[in-house]
Amino acid sequence: MGVTGRQDVRIPSHGEMLAAYLYRPDNARRVPCVVMAHGFSATRDDGLPAYAEAFQRAGYAVILFDYRYFGASSGEPRQLIDIASEQADYRAVVDWARHDDGIDPDRIVVWGSSFSGGLALEVAAGDPRIAAVIAQAPFTDSIATIRGMPARNVLRAGVDAMIDRAGALLGRPPKYIPAVGASGSFAVMTAPGAKSGFQALVGPDSLWRNEVSARVILAITGFRPGRRAAGLGMPVLFCVCDADAETPPGPSIKAAGRAPKGELRRYPYGHFEIYHDPRVKADQVEFLSRVVPTN
């Protein structure tokens, strides 16, 4: 069991096994459930258990999982960010939760942060049965994100992505690029404070690796999940960082305005500080208690 009230489980997804932590509240049955996964390259141990524990204390079950190819989940090649596969993994975990006797199948919430904030929006757009969404510092528009990257990094990453894609067609192993680096270095994320902010989330037992298969850059260019906001019929909480250089706030603020039941919370942070503020977790618990109550 490890952490009190937490089980380490394996969930099947399209031939792979997803490593997940399952948190259950004490002495409760048929409770709502929050399905959570991390953002760009991070794993289930990187700053997210504190959120899961906050939701658990409030009476919610939580499933916190690693995508295939990452962390403790199966799948080869390692460190491959595939947008369609990660959405499929979310859906597989949601389906697994709906068949668990202790979880109410009609009170499933999808939660995502950074890149997975965008994934959560996409998953909910395709599943009207989802009860609510929480999108924290969400990746909602690739154009805004790419504009914030140094031009030389965009060019180099684009070349590496094409090499990696061609290599994949020939059966070669991935060409990796760093996920995060210091300002002025080559990596996907190099805004001031990104390296230290990311590393502050990574605990001593984390399986995170600072590399991703370069081909993801080709997929990201067309990933604009904020455009799906108008079609989301369930309540959606957007937690937006006003000083965010990794997922700029403008598109997310607009998406919150387009969502029929969208709610917006703004915080005076960069991309990574939001993980450390207990007020953010309290705001999310308050949102859940209103829109998906435990009783």
Q: For residue range 213-242, list pLDDT tens digits in order.
A: 999 999 999 999 999 999 999 999 999 999
Q: Quickly list H helices, the chain.
A: 49-57, 83-98, 115-125, 142-147, 151-169, 194-199, 216-220, 249-258, 278-291
User: What backbone torsions phi and psi does residue 188 show, to the nearest 5 degrees?
Assistant: -70, -40
CA distance 177 to 142: 18
CA distance 30 to 64: 18
Cis bond before residue 77 (omega within 30° of 0): yes
pLDDT for res 3: 52
The confidence band for 1, taking pLDDT boundaries of 50, 70 and 90, is very low
pLDDT for res 59: 96
Q: At what angle do helices 278-291 and 49-57 cross, to 10 degrees?
A: 40
Q: Is the pLDDT of residue 15 over 70?
A: yes
At 109-165, the pLDDT tens digits run 999 999 999 999 999 999 999 999 999 999 999 999 999 999 999 999 999 999 999
- What's the mean per-residue pLDDT of the chain? 96
What is the mean pLDDT of the segment spanning 83-99?
98
Domain formed by 6-144+225-291, architecture: 3-Layer(aba) Sandwich (3.40)
pTM of the model: 0.96
The confidence band for 252, taking pLDDT boundaries of 50, 70 and 90, is very high
- Which pair of structure tokens corresponds to residue 110? 């999808």
The strand pair at 212-213 and 176-177 is best described as antiparallel
Domain locations in the chain as residue ranges: 6-144+225-291
Give 285: exposed, middle or buried? Use CB within 10 Å, 0-12, 13-18, 19+.
Answer: middle
DSSP code for 236 = E
What is the mean pLDDT of the segment spanning 181-206?
96
